[in-house]
Amino acid sequence: MKFMRRLSFLLFVLVSNFCFAQRDNLRSVDSLLFSPSNRDTIYIKDYSNQLNINFNVSNEYNSYFIPTTEGTGLLKPNINVRYAVDFNYKFLTIRLGVRPKFGEKTTNEKGESEYFRFRLQFTFINWAHVWEYNRTKGYYLSNSDSFISTPADARLQFPNLTTHIFMGQTYRKLNSKYSIQAIQSQTTAQLKSAGTWMPSINYWVYNYDGFGNYLDVDGNSSQRQDYNALNGFSIMPYMGYHYTFVVKKFYFNSYIDAGMGYDYTYIKKYNEEGLNNSYVENDFIYSSKFGINLGYNSKTFFAGASTNSRLISYGRDRNGENRVAKNIAFNVFIGYRFRPPKAVRNTVDKIGDKIPLISN
């Protein structure tokens, strides 16, 4: 409870002080986490003692390929773009986001999606830790015209299909000349080009339910004869290579990761009479991730854009509705650094003292 109160207080202070805070020259704090002795200062410039706030626009969401007797369908939520504000100070990143509403025409064609996402990130010199919870309700079949004749842009809709996903990720760089923070939180700047191998571990706990009924292109509700509900978890180690190319204050970053892991799924099979069967499937899963980041990073101002993709496939065909998960996203951001209010500095320091995470 103390941690949540401090976190809530931090958010309040950040928002209330943003318009009044003024940037000032800051001296490095002589601490274990942020001492220049813990960085390669020829390759990396430390801005972690300044608060940076950035505004970003993104279209990130998860979509799913589902196998059927007629072919493979692609399920997507009716999500276009979202706006968010990131608060980055020292090791802590907090994101507050909103999603604009669509017009009536788009809602009628693809349905209405509810979307909630909370992301907490700790980015240290050599390590990064990310935790995220994502709840999405309301999907549509993107390739409906492959199954039925559809007028204009109308799509089959699954208004009750709901996905709950909790995701965690921990990764570590193997080259001290490469900066994770310069890409992830902009609390540092990469001064010279450098690359690193990056091992990581990813894990998910998930639930997919609500496949039982759908709306046809005329808006009529229909019940599916056979459908599944899924609960499970996955764990997957990755190994990848990340490289940042720097020209003066401009940078270009790219990475590619590959992983193989394990998935456990508890499947409930339903038919018109209700629950028909349940069983467990254990699979090897395979994944690839690729991303490009480019931007500008100066003492006070930074901006950039990125795109990334992730594909997770299962080792064998399954009778469920999540055979392949796909994520493709872009992000555009612009930000500014300034001297943090005293209350923010004190609060983040207390949070750091209470959370026993590895920082080096």
Residue 360 lies in a domain: no
Summarize pLDDT for 237-269 with one digit per residue, the tens. 999 999 999 998 999 999 999 999 999 989 888
* pLDDT confidence tier of residue 320, bands split at 50, 70 and 90: very low
Model confidence at 316: pLDDT above 80: no
For the residues of 14-30, what is the DSSP string, one character each?
A: HHHHTTT------PPP-
For residues 117 and 36, which has the higher predicted lDDT (pLDDT)?
117
* pLDDT confidence tier of residue 30, bands split at 50, 70 and 90: very low
Give the list of residues 6+ apart from residue 162 with CB closer than 8 angstroms, or none: 135, 136, 137, 207, 208, 209, 210
* pLDDT confidence tier of residue 156, bands split at 50, 70 and 90: confident
pLDDT, residue 356, reads: 56
Looking up residue 216, the CATH number of its domain turns out to be 2.40.128
Q: Report the greatest alpha carbon distance in the chain.
A: 70
pLDDT, residue 303, reads: 95
Kindly state the DSSP code that residue 105 receives in the 8-state scheme.
H
| Domain around 68 | 2-354
Reading the block at residue 20, the tokens are 């009044």
In this structure, are strands 213-215 and 250-271 parallel, antiparallel, or unpaired? unpaired
In this structure, are strands 194-209 and 227-247 parallel, antiparallel, or unpaired? antiparallel
| d(C-alpha 213, C-alpha 206), whole Å | 21
Model confidence at 333: pLDDT above 90: yes
Give the list of residues 6+ apart from residue 339 with CB closer than 8 angstroms, or none: 21, 22, 23, 24, 26, 50, 51
Model confidence at 39: pLDDT above 90: no
pLDDT, residue 93, reads: 84
**310-326 average pLDDT score:** 60
**101-105 average pLDDT score:** 60
**219-239 average pLDDT score:** 87
pLDDT, residue 21, reads: 38
For residues 196 and 226, which has the higher predicted lDDT (pLDDT)?
196
- The count of C-alpha atoms lying within 13 angstroms of the C-alpha of 98, restricted to the half-sphere facing its C-beta, is 5
Reading the block at residue 83, the tokens are 């706006």
Helix, strand, coil fractions of the chain, as percent rounded to 5: 15, 55, 30
**168-177 average pLDDT score:** 93
pLDDT, residue 325, reads: 67
Residue 122 lies in a domain: yes
Residue 359 lies in a domain: no
Q: Which amino acid is at 71?
A: G
pLDDT, residue 63, reads: 80
Q: Which of 91-105, 112-126, 163-177 has the highest mean pLDDT?
A: 163-177
Model confidence at 162: pLDDT above 80: yes
* Domain count for the chain: 1
pLDDT, residue 84, reads: 85
Contact between 179 and 209 under an 8 Å Cβ cutoff? The reply is: no
Model confidence at 201: pLDDT above 70: yes
Give the list of residues 6+ apart from residue 256 with CB closer than 8 angstroms, or none: 240, 241, 288, 289, 290
Contact between 156 and 215 under an 8 Å Cβ cutoff? The reply is: yes
Residue 251 lies in a domain: yes
Residue 173 lies in a domain: yes
Question: How large is the angle between the packed helices 2-17 and 342-354, nearest 10 degrees?
Answer: 150
In the predicted model, what is the mean pLDDT of the chain? 79
Q: Count CB-CB contacts under 10 A for residue 63.
A: 16
3-state secondary structure 182-224: HHHCCCEEECCCEEEEEEEEEEEEEEEECCCEEECCCCCEEEC
